[in-house]
Every structure is written in C-alpha cells, then in structure tokens.
Amino acid sequence: MSDLLRRPGALTFSHMGMYVLDIERMARFYREVLGFTETDRGLLGTAQLVFLSRDPAEHHQLVLATGRPADLGFSVINQISLRVPDLATLREVRRRMQADAGAHDLASVTHGNAISIYVRDPEGNRLEVFMDCPWYCEQPLREPVDLDLPDEAVMAQAEAMARSRPRFQPRSEWMAEMARRMGQA
C-alpha cells in the first residue's frame, strides 16, 4: 500500500447507504429510536433518498434509498455498528429498542473488549450498539451479559471474559501495536 494512504486520516469511513422497502418507517426508526437528524431528502431518478446524520461535520452518515427488492430473502447487511460512551447510554438505547415495535431480536452481549446490544431494525438489518472496554482480547468472542446488573458487575463480567483469553492486554497497548502495524507509529 502506498505510504500516502497509510497517513492517519488519509482514508476514513464517512457514510453508508442501504436500500429499503418502507422509507418512511425506516427514516422514523433511525430518527426517533437512534436520534439521527434528517439532513435532506429527495428524488434521484426514480429513487427516493433520505439522508441522516448524528455528526454536524457529516452531511450524512446513513442514506436510505428506495428500491430494495421485496423478494430478497434476507438482509445482505451483516451489521451496522454504532459506538456509545458508557453503559448508561447503552442501556438507554436498549430501552428505546425495547419500546419500538419495529425493533426485534434484541440481545445483550460482551465481546470481552466491548459490551454490545444487537437488534434488528424494522426491515431486519442487524444493528450493533456498543461501548469499548479499556482492554483488548482476540476475537471472535460473544457471551451473554445482563445489562440490568450494576455497572461494576457488568464490567467485571466483561473483564473476566477478556482475561480468560491468551492475548489479553490493555487497549492502549493493543492500539499502539495496531498503529505500528498500520505504519502510523
């Protein structure tokens, strides 16, 4: 890879788009349940588009487009992942998902290095909302976690799971090694 592309910030993820069946239902879900702001909407040819963002520096982080085939047997999106800063916010997202009739298949898990909820949006696309933990452990790892427990108990469960893995280490050490491997050290 060119050294030009190895520079921090030379290539960063900005947004994604997905085809939907019911654009109004999906736009409402992402606005009301996950707090996205609708930044624009309109037609491009015959496709209706809705642009959504949670970052004022990004015109859109998610674009919804009409045109998803009705006979598609499953969503080809493996997951859309959103980071939250703490367990309180993660619990609030879970509460909103539980209250929304369109959200389904909710699961709370730890990956050792993160604590997550997984849920399907109204059209079956899998969402992950997660909080990073201050340590690293190799992946994949997925174990149920009870988010109704106090913060200390949830964090202790995640840390115990992470420590059981052979490559457990502080997140800062793992990040330094990744920066070195990516040519950014």
pLDDT tens per residue across span 61-96: 999 999 999 898 877 788 999 999 999 999 999 999
Of the candidates 121, 165, 142, the one whose C-alpha atom is nearest the C-alpha of residue 27 is 121
pLDDT value of residue 5: 63
Q: Which residue has the higher pLDDT, 2 or 66?
A: 66
Residue with tokens 């990040």: 175
Question: Domains of the chain by range and CATH?
Answer: 1-73 (3.10.180.10), 75-185 (3.10.180)
**What pLDDT, on the 0 to 100 scale, is given for residue 116?**
96
Q: For 9-47, how does the pLDDT look when each residue is reduced to its tens digit (9 = 90+)?
A: 766 777 999 999 999 999 999 999 999 999 999 999 999
Q: How many percent of the chain have pLDDT more than 70?
A: 96
CA 61, distance to chain mean position in Å, is: 12
Model confidence pLDDT, tens digit, residues 99-142: 999 999 999 999 999 999 999 999 999 999 999 999 999 999 99
User: Helix 151-163 vs helix 87-99: angle between axes, to the nearest 10 degrees?
Assistant: 110
Helix (H), strand (E), coil (C) string for 15-40:
CEEEEECCHHHHHHHHHHHCCCEEEE
Query: What does the alpha-carbon distance between residue 17 and residue 60 come to, in Å, rounded to a whole number?
Result: 9
pLDDT of residue 120: 95
